[in-house]
Structure 1
Amino acid sequence: MKKWVKLSFSLLIVSILIFSLGACSKKESLKKVRVAEVTRSVFYTPQYVALEKGFFKDEGLDVELKTTAGGDKTMTTLLSNGADVALVGSETSIYVYAQGAEDPVINFAQLTRTDGTFLVSREKIDNFSWDQLKGSTFLGQRKGGMPQMVGEFVIKENGIDPHKDLNLIQNIDFANVANAFASGTGDYVQLFEPTASVFEKEGKGHIIASFGEESGSVPYTDYMAKESYIKDNSETLEKFVRAVYKAAKWIEENDSKEVAKVVQPFFENIDLDILATSIERYQKQGSFGTDLILNEEGWNRLQDIMEEAGELPKRVDYKTLVNTSIAEKALNNK
């Protein structure tokens, strides 16, 4: 009897060891990809769905995500090898190229195809018209970033000179813009979701317009990597894009409440109903595109907006900083 007990115990230990070694082996076989995102926002919902639904792991990838608030910080992280991939505004790749980078940053997939900010007013306005901004204090985004440039583009399109007709504040760090408005700075502010909806629910502000709807299609946030990394890891990035594509398709096929349940772990302090509302806003204005390819028309429109804002160092040819082959292969082999 004692021998049987000992044998059974030994077999149990061996089984546990085999299972543990198998699990470790599987985890070790996953290819790690370090991603730096410019901010934590519902705007990037496809990325969070890909993580939470296991689409990256299905492709054999172990994606490590960190938030590096602001385009400058995100790009610094990428250039200093603190990340393999950056999710950030397309304009940053142009800035790096203009500085003469030996290893330029290449856009290989487009995650969002509209502006992601909303115009939030301190006071409730039932019938808003853009000319009501004149003479007000407008708390804008960081100078040279996509939110600021698209924001100014939309304001100008509505017959307002942001530098003459507004008291324009642009010297507040990206991560502190929302707090500054909550503390009493500005009559209007430009905010991403879910912050805009949180402010509305808490009575700190009121969403009165969408910069995404006003500006139309624009390559707003892209996945990018250094040219050298892309050269050595093209198959890995193809798998990465395929996982994001699966997530984008899943979002397209599900309602905002279901999507909100999946991404809530990334927004633990945000109520589920706020998340659902935020996601629905982005769904309705077409921010989440299943076509992850940055086309030449979009690239030229981006540079037009930068030029209008006085932030374009020089025009850069589409093929110089955009690589569509990875996304094309990913979508053809889905």
Structure 2
Amino acid sequence: MKKGLKISFSLLMTAILIFSLGACSKTESLKKVRVAEVTRSVFYTPQYVAIEKGFFKDEGLDIDLKTTAGGDKTMTTLLSDGADVALVGSETSIYVYAQGAEDPVINFAQLTRTDGTFLVSREKKEDFSWDQLKGSTFLGQRKGGMPQMVGEFVLKDKGIEPHKDLKLIQNIDFANVANAFASGTGDYVQLFEPTASVFEKEGKGHIVASFGKESGSVPYTDYMAKESFLKKNKDTLEKFVRAIYKAAKWVEENDPKEVAEVVQPFFEDVDVEILASSIERYQKQGSFGTDLILNEEGWNHLQDIMEEAGELPKRVDYKTLVNTSIAEKALQNK
């Protein structure tokens, strides 16, 4: 009996060892991709779904994700080889190129296709109209960043001259804008979700308009990499895009509450109901797109917005900073 137990125990230990070695081998075989995201936002829901649902691992990738608040910090991280891929506004690639970068940053996939910010008023507005902003203190985003430029584009379209009709504050660091408004600065503020909905629930502000709806389609946040990395890692980036595509499709086809439950680990302090309503807002205004290809019309529209804001250093040809071949090949083999 004891001999039989000894043999069974030996077989069990052997099985455990084989399983452990197999698991280690599988983990070690995953290729690590370091991703720097410009902010942590529900706006990037497909990315978090791809991580939580294992779509990246299915493609043989291990994602090392870090948040580098602000476009300037994110681009610095990418340029200094602190990340392989950046998720940030397309405008940053133009700024880097205009400074004469020897290794330019290339946009290879588009994650969001609208602005992701909402206009939040300190006071509740039963019948909001844009002209109510005239004479108010507006807490905007960083000068030269996509939120600020799209914000100004929309305000001008509504007959408001941002630098004349408003007391415009835009010298507060990106990560501290929400805190500044919560502490009493400004009558209006431009915020991403889920912060906008959290403020509304806590009575700190009220969502009165969507900059995404008002500005229309624009290549707002893209995945990009240095040209040198892109040339050497096309297969890896194709796998990366395929995982994002699977996630974007999953988000498109599922209920906001179910999506919220999947991404909640990335927003531990936010109630799942708030996450669900935030995701639903983005779904309804078409912020999440399954077409991850940045087209030329969108690229030109982006530069028009930058030019209108006085932030375009020079116009850059579409093919110079946009590479669609990776996304096109990834989507062909999805």
TM-score, shorter chain, exceeding 0.5: yes
Residue pairs, 1:70-109, within 5 angstroms? 70-109=70-109
Q: Does 1:12 align with 2:16?
A: no
Cα offset for 1:16? 1.2
Q: Which whole-Å deviations, capped at 9, do the CAs of 1:256-296 have from their partners, x for residues lacking one?
A: 11111111111110001100100000000000000000000
Partner of 1:332: 332
Cα offset for 1:101? 0.7
Distance 1:324 1:153 in 2: 27
TM-score for the superposition, normalised by structure 2 = 0.99
User: What is the letter of the counterpart of residue 245 of structure 1?
Assistant: Y
Partner of 1:32: 32
User: What is the letter of the counterpart of residue 297 of structure 1?
Assistant: E
Distance 2:17 2:298 in 1: 54
* SS of aligned partner of 1:163: helix
Distance 2:30 2:36 in 1: 19
* SS of aligned partner of 2:303: helix
Q: Does 1:259 align with 2:283?
A: no
Partner of 2:237: 237
Distance 1:272 1:220 in 2: 26
User: What is the letter of the counterpart of residue 81 of structure 1?
Assistant: D
User: What is the letter of the counterpart of residue 305 of structure 1?
Assistant: I
* SS of aligned partner of 2:275: helix
TM-score for the superposition, normalised by structure 1 = 0.99
Q: Which whole-Å deviations, capped at 9, do the CAs of 1:123-149 have from their partners, x for residues lacking one?
A: 000111111100000000000000000
* SS of aligned partner of 2:172: coil
Distance 1:216 1:271 in 2: 29
Q: Does 1:319 align with 2:300?
A: no
* SS of aligned partner of 2:106: strand
Percent of aligned positions that are identical: 89
Cα offset for 1:7? 2.5
What stretches of structure 1 of length at least 5 have no aligned partner?
A: none
Cα offset for 1:11? 1.9
Cα offset for 1:15? 1.3
User: What is the letter of the counterpart of residue 250 of structure 2?
Assistant: W
Cα offset for 1:64? 1.0
Partner of 1:167: 167
Q: Which whole-Å deviations, capped at 9, do the CAs of 1:202-229 have from their partners, x for residues lacking one?
A: 0000000000000000000000000011
Q: How many residues of Structure 1 are paired with residues of Structure 2 in the alignment? A: 334
Partner of 1:144: 144
Distance 1:125 1:53 in 2: 40
Which stretch of the first structure deviates more once superposed, 77-86 or 7-16? Answer: 7-16
User: What is the letter of the counterpart of residue 256 of structure 2?
Assistant: S
Partner of 2:196: 196
Distance 1:3 1:248 in 2: 56
User: What is the letter of the counterpart of residue 264 of structure 2?
Assistant: Q
Distance 1:253 1:71 in 2: 31
* SS of aligned partner of 2:101: coil
Cα offset for 1:238? 0.4
Distance 1:158 1:171 in 2: 24
Cα offset for 1:235? 0.6
Distance 1:123 1:244 in 2: 39
Partner of 1:299: 299
* SS of aligned partner of 2:163: coil
Q: Does 1:220 align with 2:220?
A: yes
List structure 1 segments (4+ residues) > 4 angstroms apart after TM superposition.
Answer: none
Partner of 2:289: 289
Distance 1:309 1:89 in 2: 15
Partner of 1:154: 154
Cα offset for 1:255? 1.3
Residue pairs, 1:100-139, within 5 angstroms? 100-139=100-139
User: What is the letter of the counterpart of residue 74 of structure 1?
Assistant: T
Distance 1:255 1:15 in 2: 41
User: What is the letter of the counterpart of residue 14 of structure 1?
Assistant: T
Partner of 2:274: 274
